[in-house]
Amino acid sequence: MSEFEPKIVAFFCNWCTFTAADLAGTSRLTYPPNIKIIRVMCSGMVDPKYVIKAFLNGADGVLIGGCWPGDCHYINGNLKARRRVALLTELLSQYGIGPERLWLRWIAASEGTMLKEVAEQMTASIKKLGPSELNKPQAMVA
């Protein structure tokens, strides 16, 4: 059995973080393939149910990437995301998904290096945590 490879769903905002991902790509910065990027228009567009859905369907971690406060193309979408993530973290921990599995990070368009670092840190940290509670039974069967 090979090493546990976590699946991390990453919702990246179209304006800042997705640009950073592009920049990382064109700068040939490599980061773990465990990060599955989904482009959304704004981090404030990430409905809590998307996060829950991701966990239910096998994600070991969810990363939300948005613009730094003040940079949001839609004025305050990222701040709304921050409030939601705070609530959602509380809720998820009731179901055995700890706060360390849901990350919210501000990554600006020029911060390709930061994107790489966050992707690496998160992958490493989830690897250490092991599979999500919701994925464990299946993992044991396999």
Residue from 61, 65, 66, 112 binding other proteins (CB under 8 A): 112
Question: Which residue among 71, 100, 125, 133 contacts other proteins (CB under 8 A)?
Answer: 71
d(CA 133, CA 21): 29
Per CB under 8 A, 40 contacts other proteins: yes
Q: Any contact of residue 139 with other proteins (CB under 8 A)?
A: no
Show contacts with other proteins in window 51-70 (CB under 8 A): 53-54, 57-59, 67-70
Inter-residue contact 3 to 30 (CB < 8 Å): no
130 binds other proteins (CB under 8 A): no
Kindly state the DSSP code that residue 3 receives in the 8-state scheme: P
Count of residues that interact with other proteins, criterion CB under 8 A: 58
Q: In a 3-state reduction of DSSP, which class is residue 105?
A: strand
